[in-house]
């Protein structure tokens, strides 16, 4: 077994130092800064504990305050919003809840947890469209007038986009072709009409951009690449926090919501069982994350005979020490956008293995040079690549080196430059953006 990460980051990984949002920016921010910071409003329907929320939190923390004044609007309050406000949302970022009433909170949380009967669903729908949405729309229109750019971070404002006389852009965190490819022509046309309300549609990778350009080639939509930012220094700093509940043995880690519709932990568990059958008995498996599939996955681990070696750790607000001390990080998703957790592991110096989703991981991992790839849903192939990473020291060192270099391209100074370029293009109503 390889132990680059067992007692610290590999050689060449900076420790990371604490910095505030104002320290980030362009190489020459004074030359490129606008006359006053651009007021940018990010909107998300609600806060959970998934990758989209993590991506938004990263933007809020790293935007250079000489260039941007960020704020957030949230459709509905959730328990997780209170958690993130206390832990990760910067103090200088206002949070505006559009539907703040207690009964709206209860109604929305019940709907999120899918605990409604037929009658309750009808009441929820009537209240949502008859009371909540009109109220939220009024409050949002007031907010829009106070900002220069609106970022609909999850496309939950498609019915309102374009209002207020300021540019709007929406962010797609997943492949638009995958989301819309099997839909009817009528459904796609309705979505296109909604997307036209945005000054631009931002996607996360070159593959996603090419897919979207092809998908919408008959429609005048602006498509641009805008990868999410990662705060490399903060991640490396947080990765050094002490933990006392990791397995005593070496381990493989996966950090993902326990949602089989996307994340496919079942394939990971089957691959891990195959790995042990083939004699790789030393490594445990650590699963960090919560979700509706936990019970079914625990049952599958029992059926596969590996339950004693699989650790369901639940949600961790700081998963980075677990990633740093792991032999590898594995992501077994069916589809992805630009997975935050892969970039975070690469920034820490932990080698990564991902399923080769239709978009995302292949771009991010430079076709396999910065991390290994396996076909989605293929437990045999995933087990083979896991074994390679456990045994091939030279391969590990190469992947770590290339991963560190790739992760640095998503650092704050590059992200601020991309965001400023996009905001200026939209504000000056230039021709459709092809790429930044």
DSSP assignment string, 63-93: S-TTTEEEEEEESS--HHHHHHHHHTS-TTS
What whole-number distance in Å separates Cα of residue 351 and Cα of residue 110? 39
CATH assignment of the domain containing 359: 3.40.50.2000
Same-domain status, 272 and 169 = no
Same-domain status, 48 and 140 = yes
* Overall number of domains in the chain: 2
∠ CA 337-62-342, rounded to 5°: 35
Q: Is 11 inside any structural domain?
A: no
Same-domain status, 393 and 297 = yes
Same-domain status, 303 and 239 = yes
Determine the structural domain holding residue 181 and report its residue range: 33-229+412-427
Same-domain status, 292 and 387 = yes
Q: Is 3 inside any structural domain?
A: no
Instruction: Note the pTM of the prediction, 2 decimals.
Output: 0.78
Same-domain status, 204 and 345 = no
Same-domain status, 390 and 307 = yes
Q: What tokens were used for 288?
A: 């960090």
Same-domain status, 136 and 272 = no
Q: Is 16 inside any structural domain?
A: no
Same-domain status, 224 and 257 = no
Q: Is 145 inside any structural domain?
A: yes
Residues 6+ apart with CB under 8 A from 264: 332, 333, 334, 355, 376, 377
Q: Is 184 inside any structural domain?
A: yes
Q: Is 124 inside any structural domain?
A: yes
What whole-number distance in Å separates Cα of residue 85 and Cα of residue 296? 32
Same-domain status, 327 and 422 = no
Q: What does the pLDDT profile of the chain (436 residues) look like in tens digits?
A: 334 443 233 434 544 433 344 343 444 444 567 789 999 999 999 888 778 898 999 999 999 999 999 999 998 888 888 888 888 999 999 999 988 766 565 666 666 566 667 766 666 566 665 556 777 888 898 999 999 999 999 999 998 899 889 999 999 998 888 888 788 889 988 999 999 999 999 999 998 999 889 888 888 889 999 999 999 999 999 999 999 899 989 999 999 999 998 999 999 999 999 999 999 888 999 999 999 999 999 999 999 999 999 999 999 989 999 999 999 999 999 988 889 999 999 999 999 999 999 888 999 999 999 999 999 999 999 999 999 999 999 999 999 999 999 999 999 999 999 999 999 999 875 444 333 3
Same-domain status, 136 and 257 = no
Q: Is 291 inside any structural domain?
A: yes
Q: Is 21 inside any structural domain?
A: no
Same-domain status, 206 and 262 = no
């Amino acid at each position: 077994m390889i132990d680059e990460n067992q007692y610290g980051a590999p050689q060449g990984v900076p420790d990371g130092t604490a910095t505030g949002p104002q320290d980030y920016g362009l190489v020459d921010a004074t030359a490129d800064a606008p006359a006053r910071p651009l007021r940018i409003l990010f909107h998300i329907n609600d806060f959970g504990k998934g990758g989209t929320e993590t991506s938004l939190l990263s933007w809020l923390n790293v935007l250079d305050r000489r260039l941007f004044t960020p704020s957030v609007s949230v459709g509905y309050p959730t328990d997780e919003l209170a958690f993130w406000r206390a832990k990760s949302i910067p103090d200088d970022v206002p949070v505006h809840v559009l539907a703040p009433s207690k009964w709206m909170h209860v109604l929305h949380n019940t709907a999120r947890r899918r605990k409604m009967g037929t009658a309750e669903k009808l009441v929820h729908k009537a209240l949502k469209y008859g009371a909540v949405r009109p109220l939220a729309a009024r409050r949002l229109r007031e907010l829009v007038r106070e900002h220069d750019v609106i970022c609909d971070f999850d496309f939950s404002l498609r019915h309102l986009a374009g209002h207020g006389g300021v540019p709007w852009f929406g962010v797609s965190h997943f492949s638009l072709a995958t989301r819309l490819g099997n839909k009817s022509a009528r459904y796609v046309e309705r979505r296109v009409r909604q997307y036209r309300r945005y000054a631009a549609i931002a996607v996360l990778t070159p593959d996603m951009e090419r897919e979207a350009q092809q998908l919408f080639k008959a429609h005048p939509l602006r498509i641009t690449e805008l990868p999410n930012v990662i705060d490399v220094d903060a991640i490396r700093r947080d990765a050094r926090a002490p933990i006392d509940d990791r397995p005593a043995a070496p381990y493989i880690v996966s950090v993902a919501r326990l949602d089989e519709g996307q994340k496919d932990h079942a394939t990971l568990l089957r691959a891990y069982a195959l790995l042990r059958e083939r004699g790789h008995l030393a490594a445990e498996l650590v699963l960090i994350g919560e979700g509706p599939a936990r019970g079914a996955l625990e049952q599958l681990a029992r059926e596969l005979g590996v339950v004693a070696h699989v650790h369901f750790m639940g949600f961790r607000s700081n998963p980075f020490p677990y990633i740093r001390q792991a032999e590898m990080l594995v992501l077994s998703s069916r589809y992805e956008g630009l997975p935050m957790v892969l970039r975070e592991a690469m920034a820490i110096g932990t080698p990564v293995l991902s399923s080769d989703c239709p978009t995302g991981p292949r771009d991010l991992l430079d076709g396999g040079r910065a991390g290994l790839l396996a076909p989605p849903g293929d437990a045999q192939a995933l087990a083979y690549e896991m074994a390679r990473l456990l045994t091939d020291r030279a391969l590990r060192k190469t992947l770590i080196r290339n991963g560190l270099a790739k992760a640095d391209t998503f650092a704050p100074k590059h992200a601020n430059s991309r965001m400023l370029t996009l905001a200026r293009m939209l504000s000056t109503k230039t021709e459709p953006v092809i790429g930044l």
